[in-house]
Structure 1
Amino acid sequence: MGTHSHTTYNFDERFEFVGKAKTWSLAAIIIGVIAIVAGFYVDGSHRMFANLLLMGYYFTCVCAAGACFLAIQFVSQAGWSTGLLRIPQAFASVLPIASIILIVITAAGLFTHNLYHHWHADGITDPNSPHYDALVAGKSAFLNVPGFFARQIIFLGCYSILGAALSKLSYREDLEGSLNSYKKSFKFSAIFLVIFGFTTPIWSFDTVMSLEAHWFSTMFGWYNFAAMWVSGLCAITLIIILLKRAGYLAWVNENHLHDMGKLIFGFSIFWTYVWFAQFMLIWYANIPEETVYFYKRWEPEYKPWFWLSIIINFVAPVLILMDRDAKRKENIMLFVCILLLAGHWLDYYIMIMPGTVENHRGFGLSEIGSILGFVGLFTYLTLGKLSKQPLAPKNHPFLEESLHHQI
């Protein structure tokens, strides 16, 4: 790869969010809203709320993964990724909106008893009630409404505030041209990673694992983090490729794509390790209160999806991305990213649906509507944020290293 100077590229270029991208994202939002409303009547409120939780959680996880990616680059003082930082910054800027949407969904689902009814039901912790559940009552010090919402608001609030701060500092760096913003970004990133690392397992315990309050797994938090991280990496890579095909990000090349491919490949293996450890140890131990979780997922409606999830999220990336050249080809990486984003939607589907939806199971209007609506919303908000600032952090101290990145 030849050398490049700052004058080779136009670092002031901005993404223009117009035309088909904007039209299709708005159309997806409108179609999604209509389908979601219809889904409440066709498929029932339990199933529709479960789908809203699935997509709200997925939406928030991808945005949080973007903020985490950003923080890791600052703390590790990475230079290779500097030229593509605007994409995860856009994710971090959207995170506050995603967090509010998720909190609204969980609140509505909680108080209508369409979600979390395994621990939030009348008399379930009252020893004198016919609905008393001793196991749930034993967890009531943690699983209670005030605690649940306090943790949701505090955790998501911290992620959102720190993620948005990192984005603003980067934009300020473009204007000031000094190292002040970069040094603050380093400090904020360190704080973010400490908070994020310790609280994401608890956040997943609350939001997803508590849907089946009788079951528990100490590996569940890291299983969720792995799915979140791979999904975020795929979303970042997908947008990079699409922007390059639209004529943007000329300074991002096959070497950057290769690094993103290595991260996707490696953390897909990590996801599989946690998936296997959680599944195999519970199956092997044959402890009834634990195996009941997988028993539900082997019912006829879910068993094919259960095995398809492991094929998509493990077998596919291993076979496709094992080769070095595959990670450097846009078409292959584009296919893998779309496949894994769909695969981890299926992973979340398997996590959420069996313990939430008792009747009207299946795949139909509710699932399609929620997918369309949230994909359109994510696209509209992320590309909108991306269009507000130049696509290159032109005063980042490691930009030159990114331009010369070669592996």
Structure 2
Amino acid sequence: MAHDVQNYNLDQKFDFNAGIKKSIMTVLIIGAVLLAIGVVMSMMGGGHAEEGAEASGHAFHWYERLFANIWINNVYFTGIAIVGVFFFAIQYAAQAGWSAPITRVMLALGNWLPFAAVLMVVGFFVMGHNLFHWWHAELFDPNSSEYDSIIDGKGAFFYWPLEKGSFPIFYIARMVIFFGFWIFFFNKFKKISAAEDQLGGTQHWFKMRSWSAYFLVFFAVSSSIAAWDWVMSIDTHWFSTLFGWYVFSSWFVAALSAITLITIFLKGKGYLEMVNENHIHDLGKFVFGFSIFWTYLWFSQFLLIYYANIPEESVYFVERLTSDVYGPFIFVNIGLNFVLPFLVLMTRDSKRHGVFLKLVCTLLIFGHWIDFVLMVQPGTLGHNGGIGLMEIGMLLVFGSVVALVVLGGLAKGNLIPKNHPMLEESYHHHI
């Protein structure tokens, strides 16, 4: 390798010191306090919650809102974690050179996957009956007053090969298989990365490229089905043929924002000397471009449903846009996730300066969390949802714990893949 690259410390490791941990723990404690206050307020009963419960003819319990919050955050941060691994695999499959010094940052997001898997599986058994309308046996009994022919027709997707309304083994199996393979690929990538650092040569790069290709094929299928299972099946009557793409795009923008923030954070701490404003510019372009891609999918889904005006499709948007609880957040969603990044990141300079990217990426992570709130809450909570202290507290708790896990994982290995064959190319990267 050329002398100029060797001028850098390629063996550097991230020091996850007490000061950084203390900052994250402070946010965690603030989140826990807000969450506790929100739970107590919900237990005491908010005005609109009681009215909504009466209107729907369903006795609303405070823990239903807590369950919905846990599910929203777990699905959201699971997506960020797996898309980090996906973006890492893309770099190898595409033989990208520019990103060589920051691939470990992308891969580090996957450290959350084992925790997400436990939370998702356990959470489904604990909270599933409250979150998923289809997990009620009477819906599949033609003799019951609750019988629902539409849900009955979709029953096999959850219960096969068992009897509909019994135990959703097919649904659980998909969840376990997806997480199992995602964690397997993540660990495989970590293992090959560690071997490359120790042994050098190009064989590990070629090996990583092959495994990345296998992962991308599996990810393409599993991420879409996961979106149907974990989010779309909440509104069991409704469906959208591009919902998998839509959820992926929301996950992707959030993950890109997280990768960008961590990279800028590490640069600020004196790490990743090889990474310059050209690399930051590329990350900014990804965030800008995929924010527009998310908007394109949002508008495509909305426009087709609006134009066709079929009741079983349009109900999804009608119950959100006409709601006093969710209606305003539709516009907050569009403002944070499209208008803001579009206007702020349009210029070349804004994509090369950390101050703009830190602002936009932080707001995008919050904005796409709102997107998931809008996807989940109306179907689980009806008019009893909204964004209050419980929601903000839960987001801060989840975000802090994820940050501790991700940065802790990042600190365990080399920050830079020192034997990556394209490190020299990345050093000379200029746009």
Given the alignment of the two structures, is residue 79 of structure 1 paired with residue 79 of structure 2, yes or no? no
Following the alignment from structure 2 to structure 1, what is the Cα–Cα distance between the partners of residues 33 and 145?
40
Pairing partner for 1:115 from 103, 108, 131? 131
Alignment match, 1:106: 124
Following the alignment from structure 2 to structure 1, what is the Cα–Cα distance between the partners of residues 88 and 212?
8
Listed one character per residue, the Cα deviations across residues 309-343 of structure 1 (whole Å, up to 9, x for unaligned) are: 11111111111111111111111111111111111
Checking the alignment, whether the CA contact within 8 Å between 2:261 and 2:361 is kept in structure 1 is: yes
Alignment match, 1:236: 259
Following the alignment from structure 1 to structure 2, what is the Cα–Cα distance between the partners of residues 36 and 114?
20
Following the alignment from structure 2 to structure 1, what is the Cα–Cα distance between the partners of residues 238 and 68?
18
Q: 1:160 and 1:37, CA in 2 relative to 1: closer, same or farther beyond 3 A?
A: farther
Instruction: Report the Cα offset of residue 130 of structure 1.
Output: 1.6
Deviates more, 1:12-21 or 1:44-53: 12-21
Alignment match, 1:169: 192
Q: 1:30 and 1:174, CA in 2 relative to 1: closer, same or farther beyond 3 A?
A: same
Gapped regions of structure 2 (runs ≥ 5): 43-61, 160-167
Counterpart code for 1:114 = N
Counterpart code for 2:309 = N
Does the residue aligned with 2:245 lie in a helix, a strand or coil? helix
Following the alignment from structure 2 to structure 1, what is the Cα–Cα distance between the partners of residues 202 and 63?
52
Question: Could you state the TM-score of these two structures normalised by the residue count of structure 2?
Answer: 0.90
Checking the alignment, whether the CA contact within 8 Å between 1:24 and 1:376 is kept in structure 2 is: no
Equivalenced residues, count: 402
Does the residue aligned with 1:114 lie in a helix, a strand or coil? helix
Q: How does 1:8-407 map to 2 (within 5 A)?
A: 8-33=7-32, 36=35, 39-43=38-42, 44-110=62-128, 113-116=129-132, 118-144=133-159, 145-298=168-321, 299-358=323-382, 360-407=384-431
Does the residue aligned with 1:142 lie in a helix, a strand or coil? helix
Following the alignment from structure 2 to structure 1, what is the Cα–Cα distance between the partners of residues 276 and 403?
23
Does the residue aligned with 2:17 lie in a helix, a strand or coil? coil
Following the alignment from structure 1 to structure 2, what is the Cα–Cα distance between the partners of residues 196 and 7?
36
Instruction: Report the Cα offset of residue 366 of structure 1.
Output: 1.7
Checking the alignment, whether the CA contact within 8 Å between 1:249 and 1:391 is kept in structure 2 is: yes
Following the alignment from structure 1 to structure 2, what is the Cα–Cα distance between the partners of residues 72 and 401?
17
Does the residue aligned with 1:143 lie in a helix, a strand or coil? helix
Does the residue aligned with 1:10 lie in a helix, a strand or coil? coil
Q: What root-mean-square deviation, in Å, do the aligned CA atoms of Structure 1 and Structure 2 show? A: 1.6
Q: 1:96 and 1:180, CA in 2 relative to 1: closer, same or farther beyond 3 A?
A: farther
Checking the alignment, whether the CA contact within 8 Å between 1:96 and 1:161 is kept in structure 2 is: no
Listed one character per residue, the Cα deviations across residues 184-212 of structure 1 (whole Å, up to 9, x for unaligned) are: 21111001000101221111000000011
Checking the alignment, whether the CA contact within 8 Å between 1:56 and 1:105 is kept in structure 2 is: no
Counterpart code for 1:115 = L
Checking the alignment, whether the CA contact within 8 Å between 1:90 and 1:167 is kept in structure 2 is: no
Deviates more, 1:162-171 or 1:18-27: 18-27
Instruction: Report the Cα offset of residue 365 of structure 1.
Output: 2.8
Question: Could you state the TM-score of these two structures normalised by the residue count of structure 1?
Answer: 0.95
Does the residue aligned with 2:201 lie in a helix, a strand or coil? coil
Checking the alignment, whether the CA contact within 8 Å between 2:336 and 2:367 is kept in structure 1 is: yes
Following the alignment from structure 2 to structure 1, what is the Cα–Cα distance between the partners of residues 218 and 229?
16
Counterpart code for 1:305 = F
Q: 1:34 and 1:105, CA in 2 relative to 1: closer, same or farther beyond 3 A?
A: farther
Following the alignment from structure 2 to structure 1, what is the Cα–Cα distance between the partners of residues 410 and 138?
49
Percent identity reads 45
Does the residue aligned with 1:316 lie in a helix, a strand or coil? helix
Counterpart code for 2:112 = V
Listed one character per residue, the Cα deviations across residues 109-140 of structure 1 (whole Å, up to 9, x for unaligned) are: 11xx2210x21113111111121111000000
Following the alignment from structure 2 to structure 1, what is the Cα–Cα distance between the partners of residues 88 and 385?
38
Does the residue aligned with 1:215 lie in a helix, a strand or coil? coil
Gapped regions of structure 1 (runs ≥ 5): none
Does the residue aligned with 2:298 lie in a helix, a strand or coil? helix
Following the alignment from structure 1 to structure 2, what is the Cα–Cα distance between the partners of residues 152 and 365?
30
Checking the alignment, whether the CA contact within 8 Å between 2:325 and 2:383 is kept in structure 1 is: no
Instruction: Report the Cα offset of residue 105 of structure 1.
Output: 2.0
